[in-house]
Structure 1
Amino acid sequence: MRDPQALVTSLRALVGERHVVTAVTDLEPLVHDWRGRYQGTALCAVYPADTDEVSRVVRLCREAGAKVVPQGGNTGMCGAATPFGEDEVVLRLDRLNRVRHISALDNTMVVEAGCILADLQNKAQEVGRLFPLSLGAEGSCQIGGNIATNAGGTAVLRYGPMRDLVMGLEVVLPDGSVMNDLKRLRKDNSGYAVRHLFVGSEGTLGIITAATLKLFPPPQASATAMTGAADLGQALALLALVRTKLGDRISAYEVMSHSQMQLVLDHIPNCTLPFDRSHPWYVLIEAEDSFATVDLASLLEECLADGFEQGLVADAVIPKSEAQRAALWRLRHSVSEANKVSGISASYDTVVPLDRLADFAADTVAGVAKAFPQARILFVGHVGDGNLHAIAHFDKDAFPSKAEFEEAAAVVNGIVDDATLKCDGSISAEHGIGKSNRKRLAQSIDPVRYGLMLKIKATIDPENIMNPGKVL
């Protein structure tokens, strides 16, 4: 890298003195990942105000031989937003936080990448519409990061992942040029859908600065239930029953093992188990309908009654108020925080076909328990779409050093990946690859596909300045 201090001076002249951060104490929260697994370093962090400034920042970095690490809310799970070099510049998108356009007629909104997800949910609600992406970090994660990681969340079953919610993108490329593909069109067959390259690319191909997103009419009726189940097979059989009776009204079908639920109850305030006794597995079901006249609560009760008769439901509760519903979702959304404060984890983002999910869970339990009898084996996930997070959870003092934990995590990686590939699954459903999963990706996907990914990276970013060391 040529003359780091000259680059910092040029960046300050471009975006303003207070929008370039160099002090170690100010950089500290930006060079750690949310889970606390990685501690990196950076030359500085820069906060541009708009797309033009992002473009000019990238040009300055390229000319100086510096690398660029895009960062949104820094809530990722795989170290994709963490810088790892004195020649790396963290490019924060916080100031790009405008809603440029919103239309209830089009069912679209054009937003900048630094918008907080929860704020966009509220903006859509103001015009009588729904933006359906929902996840535990929605109060702090930014939409650009959600797109760059192809976030999933709890509503994928009805609305799809982030890729299905993006209609257009504005992207700053590694040479500083800007691709403007923000048209609000439902049909556009004009050549390659290039924007899809950037959804899930984790900042390795360019910087997403704005997006056109799909909105939906808000549901007029909804119903929620939590059930207890004896095993994962029963939870999956109940899913088949509920799908038969409710069809695509199901918006969420979440499961938690009791081991995972207990960590939430032990470490998150104001969380209470809604049953008189514990169960090996818990299922959280939510259904929605566009018509207010549909009595979804009764339909869901009928499903659960049939589930009781078939031995698929050991216990059930249907909330009678929004506060009770929120309490059930708090249990689910508190998982990441509970796991973070209670110990250290090797966490996995597996997705497999539904008819192989119970096999995957059983193989994972057997393998991890044999290798690490002291580990708690946790499961939580959006099982309706086949995404089950397996977690090997250890006490904070289980390993004398970080290096020893990483060695153990590598062993667990092999166990979980073997179980995943045996069941024809994928190692990443929604969390992405980042730094954590690069080797696992190369070992687990079709080599021709991996080769194409390498060629795409080399074509779009031949100098490898965009988020180096991530994904590939």
Structure 2
Amino acid sequence: MTIHGISPEVLAALEGVLGRNGVAADSDGMAKYLGDWSGDHHGGALAVLKPASVADVQAAVRLCGTLGLAMIPQGGNTGLVAGAIDIGTDRGMVIINTERLNKVRLVDADNFTLQADAGCILQHIKDAAENQDCLFPLALGAQGSCQIGGNAASNAGGVNVLRYGMARDLIVGLEVVLPDGELWSGFSGLRKDNRGYDLKQLFIGSEGTLGIITGVEVKLFPKPGRIETAYLGLPSFEAAIALFRQARRECSDLMSAFEIIGSECMELARLADPKITAPVTAPVHVLIELSSSGAIDLRTLLVEFLAGVMEQHLVTDAVLAESSAQARAFWAIREGLVEGQAKRGYHVRTDLSVRISDIPVLIARARHLVSTEHPGWISQAYGHAGDGNIHFNVLPPRGLGETEARTRGSAITTKLYDIVNALGGSISAEHGIGRTRQRVYWDGMSSVQRRLVGTLKNALDPNGLMNPGCLFPPAETVS
């Protein structure tokens, strides 16, 4: 167990503010905070700070400012773009992790709001809402370990965006420690408040570059009393988008999820769980879910809708979940393919967004790129088709050395971004920018957008101590 890079005087000052339990500066104590969930990225830090209260966060930020220490806000560290770890720099930084700020502060079932510490795990918030017969609909594969503050800072998405929106749409208020250590609280419980600038929106999606979120106030919804889930087989992605258009009209706002999965992804799902089997055999799979809290006959609605689209040959096969256990088995396929990719090892991972009608074009062009320019590499297409978000990932051939795989993978990623840009889309639908996409994000901005974004950063964080290297290129190019 060794301590690297931090002077005894600085370590003593940090421990004086946070206590010995609030500071880790040895290799063993810091290890779990320095790598991401995917295993793709590993970083370094002078120390990991673990404040136990909002006042602790303020004190730590003030001290770091005095010492000139750069700070990386970190939640559950489940991100995929190195937004919460330092990679590739030699600048001494400290991580400020919020895991000890982990309480649900208030559940107001009458007003359908909930307040929680930023370090509260998403699943715990969902459970607290359910205990009051309410629903917090943000749903992610990492919900058992990601934290609500990180969800806010990254504007998390997930499988229910179609009906409930991104994290941005679910947040009523924030509490934030600013780069100078001052606390700003935007809690009010109000759904409508039109008094000037909506300051919370500055911090949602800011990835810790403007301050440290310490508390979040979110919207709740009535808990659904009925949920119907179906797993469908379709002949093509074009058919899947035609199906979505029809489902959007006939099922209206009762549709809470519409996921598409290329059949090639099934092999990866079985890497996560060899017992997984697809309920249908078809080139494209669709997972559709309807939910309602009222006395609506969802089953009949879904059955009649599927009967109609099967007559139109949009759907070739359909299996309706007969129990919640069977519905969970359907969702296990969608969740398992992500886990399977991680087990497979390094792969090209994208998080693309295009207009819904452009999804088939995006996938066709991306597949053509891979098959013609990188034979042997394996395309994987899946995602939240109802909101235009496609994860087009590419697996290297087995046996290819990792160094070569990463070099070629970088070239593939660049070409995939070219495809999505040509369609007027986005390189980041929900994962954020972090450090891995910083340069392509900045290069894709107009000069006006660069000026506006840089002005905000410089105004709130004039010393550039808050998560440097994330979102923004080196300081000399921001102004």
8 Å CA contact retained: 2:178, 2:212 = yes
TM-score relative to the length of structure 1: 0.96
Matched letter for residue 415 of structure 1: K
Q: Secondary structure at the match of 1:345?
A: coil
Matched letter for residue 239 of structure 1: F
Distance 2:47 2:361 in 1: 47
Choose the corresponding residue for 2:236, options 227, 231, 250: 231
Aligned to 2:418: 418
8 Å CA contact retained: 2:22, 2:52 = no
Point out 4+ residue stretches in structure 1 off by more than 4 angstroms.
Answer: none
Matched letter for residue 202 of structure 2: L
Identity %, equivalent residues: 38
Aligned to 1:27: 30
Distance 1:3 1:428 in 2: 35
Distance 2:161 2:10 in 1: 43
Distance 1:3 1:94 in 2: 22
Could you tell me how far 1:18 is from its partner in structure 2? Answer: 2.1
8 Å CA contact retained: 2:346, 2:402 = no
Write the mapping of 1:86-105 to structure 2, written as runs, cut at 5 A: 87-105=92-110
Distance 2:331 2:366 in 1: 26
Distance 2:429 2:154 in 1: 10
Q: Secondary structure at the match of 2:106?
A: strand
> What per-residue deviation string (whole Å, max 9, x for no partner) do you get for residues 194-247 of structure 1?
110110011111100001100001112221101011110011111112112111
Distance 2:25 2:462 in 1: 28
Distance 2:270 2:279 in 1: 11
Choose the corresponding residue for 2:131, options 103, 107, 126: 126
More moved, 133-142 vs 241-250: 241-250
- Asked if 1:263 is matched to 2:268, the reply is yes
Could you tell me how far 1:136 is from its partner in structure 2? Answer: 0.4
8 Å CA contact retained: 2:6, 2:46 = no
Aligned to 1:468: 468
Matched letter for residue 8 of structure 1: L
8 Å CA contact retained: 1:267, 1:342 = no
- Asked if 1:81 is matched to 2:84, the reply is yes
Matched letter for residue 21 of structure 1: A
Q: Secondary structure at the match of 1:442?
A: helix
TM-score relative to the length of structure 2: 0.94
8 Å CA contact retained: 2:40, 2:346 = no
Q: Secondary structure at the match of 1:347?
A: coil
Choose the corresponding residue for 2:168, options 163, 170, 175: 163
> What per-residue deviation string (whole Å, max 9, x for no partner) do you get for residues 334-382 of structure 1?
2321100013111111111111111111111111222211211001110
> What per-residue deviation string (whole Å, max 9, x for no partner) do you get for residues 293-329 of structure 1?
3111121111111111111111111110111011111
Aligned to 2:181: 176
Could you tell me how far 1:269 is from its partner in structure 2? Answer: 4.3
Aligned-residue Cα RMSD (Å) equals: 1.5
Gaps of 5+ in 1: none
Over 3 Å counting, the alpha-carbon distance change for 1:307 and 1:174 in structure 2 is: same
- Asked if 1:297 is matched to 2:291, the reply is no
8 Å CA contact retained: 1:377, 1:392 = yes
Distance 2:183 2:95 in 1: 19
Matched letter for residue 318 of structure 2: A
Write the mapping of 1:182-331 to structure 2, written as runs, cut at 5 A: 182-275=187-280, 278-291=281-294, 293-331=295-333
Aligned length: 466
> What per-residue deviation string (whole Å, max 9, x for no partner) do you get for residues 377-402 of structure 1?
0011100000111101124642342x
> What per-residue deviation string (whole Å, max 9, x for no partner) do you get for residues 281-300 of structure 1?
11000011231x31111211
> What per-residue deviation string (whole Å, max 9, x for no partner) do you get for residues 253-275 of structure 1?
00111111221123324422223
Distance 1:161 1:66 in 2: 33
